[in-house]
């Protein structure tokens, strides 16, 4: 226990030490002789030369005074991403700009995720509203209708991530909404399960294209701003989960038989048309990438956007690189993130998919279970946003992931052992509050530590694919009625596995940072130092990994 405490204390203080040293450097900006090599004098030479050494450090750190920026090493690959110091007026302008993109971009992305979550689960609602009876579906055929969605969804994760710049975000996200919404609306005319299953593949293919949204945010937000924003739009999935049954119930009670259509057909039609309409809106109002944006922003704001995207380790107009995809597969960080996301996703998916079932198991009627699940979803969403904010505020990721996983594991343990209704209900809160922030903070952590556009997109796609496979698999573990001990135990074990993997990953990142510092004077480091992040990615010798 003592060693563990020392380890976490070391992680926390090492992150804050970088920020304190950088603020000290700001107070007395040093002058680095022109043409000198970065990182050869001492461990702080990177920040003294105006280069950000940690993607987690924010606007209060890693700055170089503008009057000395020309004295930095222009040949260093990280020079283009240096954190420029701002005047008081410029800082105010940047805060206004940040608030503006929060009110433009975040609501649009959040709405896309909300509609995606609704359309993803509408087969279950349609089945309850009479589709199973009308089409004479067996249990196996209904399962096929649900499961076929994931064929397209998993197959198109990689294109959905790496093509964001090529297609541009408004076209990619807008077209995805229009096509999957159209496929959903066509289901209203289905007369057999094969038609619905086939259209569900189409829906899955194009819902995969919105998985590029987290990558899109990295174009507009700095690394220490991502977890908060990611928590806000990804919490829409929880909100959709809490509202989906209510929306379907409203359609079922008000639209049954209208114009000769059954209620389940109206569910597909209404939710599909809503997605199509919003997709058309996205074409016209979602901002493009910072280097291509035309509407919404003044010329001064466009300059702020371009500076910020460079400070976030982006290079405008970057192309897809096959070499970076290969590097994605070879990078141990990819597989650490995959294991963490897989295990965390199993816990979160088990909670999200079976919360009403768990509540019903504890003695609540089906209607009571639906109502009692709403505050659990709300608390989970609040937890995700709070943890995302604190993770950004303190520039720390791993510890928040570990804490969330341990809280979730404790909740599953309560659900396994408890025979008390109130205690079991409390257990569902523990699981939701612990699980919900983990994947969000983990994705922000991944975006902080992976550089290179294609490498970052490829890592995001692989991590998402593995995570969704876990979410699919866990559904088959909740089949041992009445107590579902197998599913609960699998979810708890997954949370504990993710915890152990995260601790191991923190040790790995600490070792990698130490190795970079130890080798900073080598010939290899001098050569790599001249390359851009699109050439050497996060392997640049002056780039330190966030923990």
Mean pLDDT, consecutive 10-residue segments, the chain of 547 residues? 55 51 36 32 37 40 35 73 88 94 93 88 80 84 84 92 93 96 94 92 94 91 91 76 72 81 89 95 95 91 94 90 92 95 89 76 71 83 92 93 96 90 89 91 93 94 91 77 84 94 96 93 90 90 91
CA 210 – CA 163 distance, rounded (Å): 11
Residues sharing a CB contact under 8 Å with residue 236, sequence separation 6 or more, in sequence order: 110, 111, 113, 114, 117
Question: Do the Cβ atoms of 421 and 271 come closer than 8 Å?
Answer: no
Q: Are 66 and 185 spatial neighbours (Cβ–Cβ below 8 Å)?
A: no
Q: How many CB atoms lie within 10 A of CB 397?
A: 28
- Cβ count near 42 (within 10 Å): 10
pLDDT at position 154: 92
How far apart CA 487 and CA 472 sit, in angstroms, is 12
For residue 164, give both structure tokens: 């964001």
Task: Yes or no: say if 411 and 427 are a contact pair by the CB < 8 Å rule.
Answer: yes
- Using CA atoms, how far residue 414 sits from 330, 355, 424, in Å, is 40, 14, 6
Inter-residue long-range contacts of 6-9, CB under 8 Å, 24+ positions, other chains counted: 7/503, 7/506, 7/507, 8/399
Query: Around Cβ 527, how many Cβ atoms within 10 Å?
Result: 11
Q: How many Å apart are CA 491 and CA 471, to the nearest integer?
A: 10
To 10 degrees, the CA torsion angle through 410, 411, 417, 418? Answer: 130
The b-or-e profile of 209-228 (16+ CB within 10 A means b, else e) is bbbbbbbbbbbbbbbbbbbb
Q: Which pairs with CB-CB distance under 8 Å and at least 24 residues apart come from 414-418?
A: 415/358, 415/488, 416/485, 416/488, 416/489, 416/492
Compute CA 1 distance to the chain's CA centroid, rounded to the nearest angstrom. Answer: 32
Query: What is the distance between the alpha carbons of residues 76 and 37, in angstroms, rounded to a whole number?
Result: 8
Helix axes 169-186, 213-220, angle to 10 degrees: 150
CA dihedral 239, 223, 5, 439 (to 10 degrees): 30
Residues in contact with 451: Cβ distance below 8 Å, sequence separation at least 6, in sequence order: 313, 533, 537, 538, 540, 543
């Amino acid at each position: 226990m003592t060693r563990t405490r020392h380890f976490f204390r070391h992680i926390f203080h090492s992150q804050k030490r970088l920020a304190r040293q950088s603020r000290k450097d700001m107070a007395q900006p040093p002058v680095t002789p022109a043409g000198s090599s970065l990182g050869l004098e001492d461990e702080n030479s990177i920040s003294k030369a105006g280069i950000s050494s940690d993607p987690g450090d924010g606007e209060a750190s890693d700055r170089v005074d503008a009057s000395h920026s020309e004295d930095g090493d222009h040949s260093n690959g990280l020079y283009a991403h240096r954190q420029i110091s701002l005047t008081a007026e410029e800082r105010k302008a940047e805060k206004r700009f940040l608030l503006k993109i929060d009110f433009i971009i975040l609501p649009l992305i959040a709405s896309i995720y909300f509609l995606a979550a609704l359309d993803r689960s509408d087969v279950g609602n349609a089945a309850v509203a009479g589709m199973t009876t009308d089409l004479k579906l067996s249990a196996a055929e209904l399962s096929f209708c649900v499961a076929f969605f994931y064929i397209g969804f998993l197959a198109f994760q990689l294109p959905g991530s790496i093509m964001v710049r090529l297609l541009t975000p408004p076209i990619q996200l807008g077209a995805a909404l229009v096509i999957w919404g159209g496929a959903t609306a066509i289901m209203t005319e289905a007369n057999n399960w094969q038609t619905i299953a086939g259209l569900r593949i189409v829906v899955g293919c194009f819902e995969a294209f919105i998985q590029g949204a987290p990558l899109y945010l990295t174009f507009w937000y700095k690394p220490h701003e991502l977890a908060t924003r990611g928590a806000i739009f990804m919490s829409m999935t929880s909100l959709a989960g809490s509202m989906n049954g209510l929306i379907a119930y409203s359609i079922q009670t008000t639209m049954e038989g209208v114009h000769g259509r059954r209620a389940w057909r109206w569910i597909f039609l209404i939710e599909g048309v809503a997605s199509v309409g919003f997709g058309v809106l996205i074409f016209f109002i979602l901002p493009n990438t910072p280097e291509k944006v035309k509407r919404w922003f003044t010329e001064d704001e466009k300059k702020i956007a371009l500076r910020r995207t460079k400070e976030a380790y982006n290079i405008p107009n970057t192309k897809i690189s096959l070499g970076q995809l290969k590097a994605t597969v070879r990078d141990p960080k990819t597989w650490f993130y995959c294991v963490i996301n897989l295990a965390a996703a199993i816990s979160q998916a088990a909670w999200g998919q079976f919360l009403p079932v768990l509540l019903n198991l504890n003695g609540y009627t089906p209607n009571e279970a639906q109502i009692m699940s709403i505050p659990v979803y709300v608390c989970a969403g609040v937890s995700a946003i709070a943890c995302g904010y604190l993770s950004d505020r303190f520039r720390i990721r791993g510890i928040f992931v570990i804490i969330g996983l341990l809280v979730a594991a404790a909740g599953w343990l309560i659900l396994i052992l408890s025979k008390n209704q109130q205690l079991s209900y409390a257990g569902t809160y523990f699981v939701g509050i612990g699980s919900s922030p983990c994947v969000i903070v983990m994705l922000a952590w991944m975006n902080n530590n992976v550089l290179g556009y294609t490498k970052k997109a490829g890592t995001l796609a692989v991590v998402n694919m593995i995570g969704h496979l876990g979410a699919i698999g866990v559904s088959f573990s909740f089949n041992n009625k009445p107590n579902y001990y197998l599913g609960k135990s699998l979810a708890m074990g997954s949370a504990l596995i993710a915890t152990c993997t995260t601790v191991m990953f923190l040790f790995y990142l600490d070792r990698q940072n130490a190795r970079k510092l130890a080798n900073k004077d080598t010939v290899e480091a001098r050569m790599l130092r001249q390359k851009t992040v699109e050439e050497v990615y996060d392997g640049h010798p002056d780039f330190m990994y966030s923990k």
